[in-house]
A and B are shown apart, each in its own frame.
Chain A
Amino acid sequence: MNLQQVANPRPASNGHGRRRVERENVSKQELKSVSGKTKPSRLTNAGAPAGSKTGGYESPSRERLVYLTTCLIGHRVEVQAADGSLFSGIFHATNAVEDFGIVLKMAHSIRIGSPQGQMSIVDNIGKGPSKTLIIPAKELVQITATGVSVTRDGFTNDLQHVKQQDIMLDSSISQSRHGEAERQLERWVPDEDNPQCPELENIFDGNWNRGWDQFKANAALFGVKSTFDEELYTTKLERGPQTRELEREALRIAKEIEGEETQDLHLAEERGVQLDENFDIDEETRFSSVFRGVDDSGYYEDDEVLLDSQNTETFGGASSSVISKSFANLTSGKSDDGDQVSSCSSLKDEVQGSVSSTMRDLNKSDSSDHSRQLLSESLSKNAASNCDSRIQENQFSEQLGINYLTEFVEKKTLAEVAQKTKSEDLQSSLRTMKDGADIGGHSMNATLYASTSLGSSKGQEKTSSPGELKDNVTPAKPQGAATQSARSRGRPGSASSTSERGGAATTSSGPGLSPSSSVGSLSSEKSTLNPHAKEFKLNPNAKSFIPSQTPLRPASPVADGSFYFPTNVAAVPHMHGVPVGIGVGPSFAHQPVVYNPQMAPMQSPQAYFHPNGPQYGQQMILGHPRQVLYMPTYPPEMPYKGRDF
């Protein structure tokens, strides 16, 4: 326990300079005493070495040696002995005063050297690891250690690593903040016990590229040509001169957000904030449960005024980065419809009331990696929207699922919308308002439906939304000021591609996004709508749509006798004089069938192929003499083919 001042020479010989004061250490000087206690060394100033006991030890090289051996403490090392034996153990101590014999803990021999010379180390072969192994300096040949952290960064890593070893949190593995750029990846090798999968070696051999292109193989084998276009599913990445800047900006914002303090436990954990160990919080609370007390992304009413003023200066230029940032915030986990709606509107100078929401989100959003990705993605990927005037806004809106409607802003309906927690109401009100707005630009439609669809599908893949938007935009263009309901239903009809995406069909066509689970999740979250938002003013021109379960057309005479035939019925043999219809069971929700018993018998009923929705097997009903009126249940998403009733 005598503490030699090993580390002291101050004259900056060899350019090593002063050691830092933090460098305590040096207690590992006792061979025998394996106490883990350490005592800080006393770093004296220059001039002291002469009087110290450590006569020959003042060289900086000795310092370094001691420093490095200290770094090894607790590390698994391999020690080679003079007789060739190799031991592996945890480095515990070294005699830094004298000759640097070392002490290992939990050591076991890897290789036994030939028993010549002194074999003082021996005989724990087959006895399992020895608790303590002492290797005198005379026997010591070399010590090797891999992955030793030598500098401060390494130590921080270690510390955290050790702390978190019990529970290997994903955040500790994946966080890049922990310093290491990459983990050392080891190639996976199958268990030795399973020799049955030899083919794995071949396919995945080599580097990532593998030399095997699945698309080429498919084309060669089956003649299948891939028509995958990434831009169908996500916003187009515009790589221009702006990209770098935008990326940087996004990164900056992301860092800013992530660096924010938060009261939310989960957020804090994600951001790497170490929780005080003394807190008696069980695992569930810490890692999994949803905390309902404080909502970081919500509104803070008292900040409204302040935020308003901030808002103008922030959003004066409506810089893209800021916009995206707010959007990104909104799409983060806790935001809901109200947030989105109001935040988007805030970007318009006209709206005052709901501005606060955006700002709040900006300041207190519980952004996650998700939002960060969105940020960078949104910034770099700009959707190739067809909308001319609103391209910029549309891009962001569709990427981030924000309802970005100038009409809304003008009408100050946003607040009202924001207050509706039910997505159904949201949809209907949106539609109503949009209607009366008499769309100035097609973009309005696009954004409207984009927003509705996006609002509902927020939980879904982001990539789906731009696609929807595109589809929505195209049919929206040629439209006049038809009724809102007509439009809503007409769109999915025209866009055949929407049939594949159930989400699109549902959202664009009607209120009540019941099929969309994400919407359900949205509405189920705590409502943080802005109570101060502007009041909703009904647009008298809007056609109100009331979703109902009753059929829209109760047995009214149909002049041209349209029939809806399922697409999978090639020919419908019809008998003269007998109205032919395809009976629809109540299970078939998508097919509106009009069966008009009063209609005069048709010679050739026209077939309307219902392009939307999956076509179920039909019960073909022919030759029904009696009057049958089919009243299919109309699901909210029933596409309406533009009929006025």
Chain B
Amino acid sequence: MDANSFGGEEFAVGCILSIKTTLGDEFDGQIITFDRPSNILVLQEGIKSVSGPRRNIRLLKANYIKEFSYLGQAEDPLNSKKCYLDLSALQAREESAIRQAEIEAERLGVGVTPVAQSIFDALSKTLPVRWDKTAIVVMNEVRVSSPYLPESVAGGTPAANERVRKVLELERKRLQSRGGSQ
């Protein structure tokens, strides 16, 4: 957080810069704002600002800028008159996003191999599955534990068992062929 050495003029609002970061990222963007005390530069990606309501925003710590070049100057991308914050909407959005993420998180097995995960994903397309530690539980009846071969299918009614076994075989085959063709 050293005091940044860049002159304020170069970081005027609306400037279009091409930036390289110390970590190797390169991008162009239009400055929305630059906050000196925190040293954060806020950019809007895309030179022709997608001036719809949705933009790609990037907040960059200025001290990670390796080099930059000035590309041009455009007008302020942020129209002050249109700025509006609806907190309740934001909260709602956050909550729903978290809910979504949680749902997705459930689908990920913890401490499972990628193969297992892909089997899980494939099975979940047609069957209700969930994780139980490292075992895949299908329809709450049938368990498929490591190494997730058709032989490792256990439990459930014979019909369900058969079904899961079949699906598993199919998925395995698919994965193999896909893996091989890649």
* Least Cβ–Cβ distance between A160 and chain B, in angstroms: 9
Task: Pick the contact of B38: A68, A75, A127, A137 (CB < 8 A).
Answer: A137
Contacts of B36 in A (CB 8 A): 59, 61
A195 touches B177 (CB 8 A): yes
Does B35 count as interface, using CB distance less than 8 angstroms? yes
B87 touches A24 (CB 8 A): yes
- Interface readout for B80-103 with A: 1 if CB under 8 Å, 0 if not? 111111110111111111100110
Q: Which of A68-113 contact B (CB under 8 A)?
A: 68-76, 80, 84, 89-90, 92, 98-100, 105-106
* Least Cβ–Cβ distance between B140 and chain A, in angstroms: 22
A76 to B97, CA, bound (A): 8
Of A149-157, A309-317, A436-444, A592-600, the one contacting chain B is: A149-157
A149 to B84, CA, bound (A): 10
Contacts of B102 in A (CB 8 A): 106
A84 to B23, CA, bound (A): 7
Contacts of B97 in A (CB 8 A): 74-76, 90, 106
A141 to B63, CA, bound (A): 8
B53 touches A151 (CB 8 A): yes
Does A158 count as interface, using CB distance less than 8 angstroms? yes
* Least Cβ–Cβ distance between A459 and chain B, in angstroms: 38
Contacts of B82 in A (CB 8 A): 151-153
A100 touches B94 (CB 8 A): no
User: Known contacts A72-B57, A126-B110: does B89 contact A25 (CB below 8 Å)?
Assistant: no
Contacts of B101 in A (CB 8 A): 89-90, 105-106, 129
Contacts of A138 in B (CB 8 A): 1
A19 to B55, CA, bound (A): 21
Does A65 count as interface, using CB distance less than 8 angstroms? yes
> Which has the most chain A C-beta neighbours within 10 Å: B33, B58, B91?
B33
- Interface readout for B115-131 with A: 1 if CB under 8 Å, 0 if not? 00000001000000000
Q: Which of A102-132 contact B (CB under 8 A)?
A: 105-106, 126-129
* Least Cβ–Cβ distance between A516 and chain B, in angstroms: 42
- Interface readout for B145-182 with A: 1 if CB under 8 Å, 0 if not? 00000000000000000000000000000100110010
B94 touches A73 (CB 8 A): yes
Q: Which of A1-47 contact B (CB under 8 A)?
A: 14, 16-17, 19-20, 22-25, 36, 38
* Least Cβ–Cβ distance between A35 and chain B, in angstroms: 11
Closest-by-CB residue of A relative to B38 is A100
A65 touches B33 (CB 8 A): yes
- Interface readout for A159-198 with B: 1 if CB under 8 Å, 0 if not? 1001101000000000000011100000000001101000
A127 to B111, CA, bound (A): 7
B61 touches A140 (CB 8 A): yes
User: Known contacts A57-B37, A65-B40: does B60 contact A148 (CB below 8 Å)?
Assistant: no
A61 touches B35 (CB 8 A): yes
Q: Which of B3-33 contact A (CB under 8 A)?
A: 13, 21, 23, 25, 32-33
Closest-by-CB residue of A relative to B121 is A193
User: Known contacts A73-B93, A148-B55: does B98 contact A155 (CB below 8 Å)?
Assistant: no
A142 touches B94 (CB 8 A): no
Does B42 count as interface, using CB distance less than 8 angstroms? yes
* Least Cβ–Cβ distance between A186 and chain B, in angstroms: 15
Does A67 count as interface, using CB distance less than 8 angstroms? yes
| Number of interface residues, chain A, beta carbon within 8 A | 73
A128 touches B53 (CB 8 A): no
A141 to B24, CA, bound (A): 12
A142 to B29, CA, bound (A): 13
Number of interchain pairs (Cβ within 8 Å): 197
Is chain B's binding surface mostly helix, strand, loop or mixed?
A: mixed
A147 touches B40 (CB 8 A): no
Task: Pick the contact of B54: A19, A99, A148, A193 (CB < 8 A).
Answer: A148
Is the interface on chain B under 10, 10 to 19, 20 to 34, or 35 or more residues? 35 or more
A17 to B87, CA, bound (A): 22
Closest-by-CB residue of B relative to A80 is B23
Closest-by-CB residue of B relative to A193 is B174
* Least Cβ–Cβ distance between B141 and chain A, in angstroms: 25
A192 to B60, CA, bound (A): 36
B105 touches A24 (CB 8 A): no
Contacts of B47 in A (CB 8 A): none
- Interface readout for A506-536 with B: 1 if CB under 8 Å, 0 if not? 0000000000000000000000000000000
A151 touches B79 (CB 8 A): yes
Closest-by-CB residue of A relative to B63 is A141
Closest-by-CB residue of B relative to A113 is B23
A381 to B64, CA, bound (A): 61
A141 to B27, CA, bound (A): 14
Contacts of A67 in B (CB 8 A): 83, 85
A138 to B53, CA, bound (A): 31
Contacts of A25 in B (CB 8 A): 85, 87
* Least Cβ–Cβ distance between B158 and chain A, in angstroms: 27
Contacts of A105 in B (CB 8 A): 94, 98, 101
B54 touches A142 (CB 8 A): no
* Least Cβ–Cβ distance between A137 and chain B, in angstroms: 7
Contacts of B81 in A (CB 8 A): 20
* Least Cβ–Cβ distance between B119 and chain A, in angstroms: 12
Contacts of B58 in A (CB 8 A): 142-145
- Interface readout for B43-63 with A: 1 if CB under 8 Å, 0 if not? 000000000111111111100
Task: Pick the contact of A159: B21, B64, B89, B177 (CB < 8 A).
Answer: B89
Does A62 count as interface, using CB distance less than 8 angstroms? yes
A247 to B90, CA, bound (A): 39
> Which has the most chain A C-beta neighbours within 10 Å: B21, B40, B42, B98?
B40
A152 touches B83 (CB 8 A): yes
B59 touches A68 (CB 8 A): yes
Contacts of B108 in A (CB 8 A): 128-129
User: Known contacts A68-B32, A74-B97: does B61 contact A20 (CB below 8 Å)?
Assistant: no
A17 touches B80 (CB 8 A): yes
Residue ranges of A at the interface with B (Cβ–Cβ < 8 Å): 14, 16-17, 19-20, 22-25, 36, 38, 56-57, 59-62, 64-65, 67-76, 80, 84, 89-90, 92, 98-100, 105-106, 126-129, 137-138, 140-155, 157-159, 162-163, 165, 179-181, 192-193, 195
Write 16 A-B pairs (CB below 8 A) sorted by A numbering: A14-B13, A19-B80, A36-B95, A65-B38, A71-B85, A74-B94, A74-B95, A75-B93, A127-B110, A127-B111, A129-B105, A153-B52, A155-B85, A163-B92, A179-B52, A192-B178
Given contacts A106-B101, A153-B52, A157-B53, 19 further A-B contacts (CB under 8 A): A16-B80, A25-B87, A61-B33, A64-B42, A65-B35, A67-B85, A70-B85, A75-B93, A80-B23, A89-B101, A140-B61, A141-B23, A153-B53, A155-B84, A180-B52, A181-B52, A193-B178, A195-B177, A195-B181
Complex A-B, nearest 5 residue pairs according to Cβ-Cβ distance, in ascending order: A154-B53, A74-B94, A74-B93, A64-B33, A106-B101
